[in-house]
Structure 1
Amino acid sequence: MRRFALAAALLLAPAVAHAWGHTAHAVIDRAAIQAIPETGPTFLRRYADYIATSATLPDSWRGDSEGFSKIEEDPNHGWFREQFAFLKPIPRSRYAFVIALYKHYETIKDSDPATAVRTNVRWTGTLPYAAMEAYERVIVCMRAIRAAQASGGDTAVPEQHCAFDVIRLGHYIGDGAQPLHDSVNSDGWLGPNPNNYTRDRSIHGRFESRFVDAIGLTPADIASRIAAPAHEQGDMFTAVLGFLDQSGDRMERVYQLEKRDGFANAADQDVRALVYERTAAGAAMLRDMLCRAWAESARPPAKVTPSPLDFSNPKFDPETGSAPA
């Protein structure tokens, strides 16, 4: 009983998974824009300062005093995979995902209350949906840029719209690149702990902010580590899920490295290597999504018949009121 009470207390205790510190987010955004090839959306180079300076703007939408904004935005920054291992495949709808979580909660709330208490949208996260929503808004604003170019009009306003949407997309992809954003162990180890990993919630900030700031991370540190372009073809939602899985698979490595000295040694080459690898991965994914969005924007919008809102659409989901993407 005491063991269960401890586990329940750990699960119930509030812990907020914040993003990479501003330094890493800004580096990811700048490095991604610098890596855009000449065939891509090079206009974003003119907005690199604005985008990088605003890289942590979405975190400001999560304040306790702005309750409506907080309840919508908080889940967008995490993807705690252990909480929805039961759910295969992952739904292609934010709302279908939320409904599936609640149904599972109803199933286990009496038999496994410690798990049920976190089987909800806040404690599982919605990061891939936020990323895809931002990505598709980027496509739309890039279409407007192309239309202005074709008509000889001014592209400044649609470019500004696009730069703002890139801030959102870059933030969510940057979060997803940080392994602690992809696990229930985001802010200290939860549950059984045979390896005696820290339960100190400050591990999150000590890794992604204090250590990153101590090493003075810059775009030059990761430029050569950014992978060659990928994702020109294929389903982008699947690619985002794969990116998050790759990052989440490195979660325990963060805890292993923390056991050395709590990230207090800025000269630790293994921690540096992990930071470089993860921020480079985030920059590569963001670069790829921006380039893919630019390519998609050159095509006319796909005609979906019947409409996703039409009851006759074979994929129409009566629980969400729409066919999924």
Structure 2
Amino acid sequence: MKAYEEHGGTAEEIAQAKANILYVMGTMGHYVGDGCQPLHITKHFNGWVGDNPNGYTKARTIHSWIDSGLFRKTGGINAAMIADRAKPAARLSNVPNDPAGRDPIFVQILDYIGSQTPVVEQIYIYEKAGKLDPAQPQSKEGRALLENQLLRGAKMLGDLWYTAYKDAGPDNYLITHLKARKAALRAEE
């Protein structure tokens, strides 16, 4: 977008660039949000499967309950409270330090997703203890767990957006073509 704004892009090109950015940000938000919902990263995504020595629920409704059901039954998501508790976005490290040579941002995304693994069983423990049942006073603990997950997702999303903003280099290909177009238009005058 910056290339269009600074090098003679048309109003339509700038508007399309803005729309493209919003689309990518929205798609990224969806996937990062999915990553903070621990049931999205497990085979136990909609009820415990396989060996179940702890007697966790096998109900095929737990996934939708964690996605939105508990929030819906306990007053919705309080955006102001989430915003008050949110941490400012920070730049993710782009220093390579992975022995396998993987991109450092990719490694941090994998770490973010992997950090959800312990929360999977915690959700099932909470469900078994009634901490996800809005009729029980202890449901406040379940709601707090899910709010913390939202905060984790918001932090990661902010960090990714901020890092992309700070680390994005100029689009030299586009700039070259915009300059050539501008020069051609001047030559026609």
TM-score by length of 2: 0.76
From 56, 60, 79, give the equivalent of 1:219.
79
Counterpart contact for 2:132–2:143, Cα < 8 Å: no
Q: What are structure 1's unaligned runs of at least 5 residues?
A: 1-144, 302-325
- Select 1:264's aligned residue among 121, 133, 154: 133
Residues 233 and 248 (structure 1), Cα distance of their counterparts in 2 relative to 1, 3 Å cut: same
Q: Over residues 145-188 of structure 1, what are the superposed CA-to-partner deviations in whole Å (9 max), with x where a residue is unaligned?
A: 11012125332210011111111111111000001111111111
Q: CA deviation at 1:238?
A: 0.6
2:110 is aligned with 1:248: no
Amino acid aligned to 1:232: L
> Is 1:158 the equivalent of 2:17?
yes
Instruction: Give the counterpart of 1:189 among 22, 34, 48.
Output: 48
Quote the RMSD (CA, aligned, Å): 1.9
1:296 matched to 2:167? The reply is: yes
Higher CA-based Rg: 2
Q: CA-to-partner distance for each residue in 1:249-276, whole Å, 9 max, x for gaps?
A: 2111100111133733175221111111
Deviation at 1:292, TM superposition (A): 1.1
Distance 1:271 1:279, change over 3 A: same
2:169 is aligned with 1:275: no
Runs (4+) of structure 1 exceeding 3 A deviation are 298-301
Aligned-residue offset at 1:208: 1.8
Q: 1:175 aligns with which of 26, 34, 39?
A: 34
Mark the runs of 5 or more structure 2 residues left unpaired by the alignment. Answer: 95-103, 173-189
Higher relative contact order (CA 8 A, sep 6+): 2
Q: Distance in 1 between matches of 2:41 and 2:7?
A: 44
Task: Count how many residue pairs are aligned between Structure 1 and Structure 2.
Answer: 157
**Counterpart residue identity of residue 111, structure 2:** G
> What TM-score results when the alignment is normalised by the length of structure 1?
0.45
How far is 1:299 from its partner?
Answer: 4.3
Distance in 2 between the 1:279 and 1:182 partners?
Answer: 15
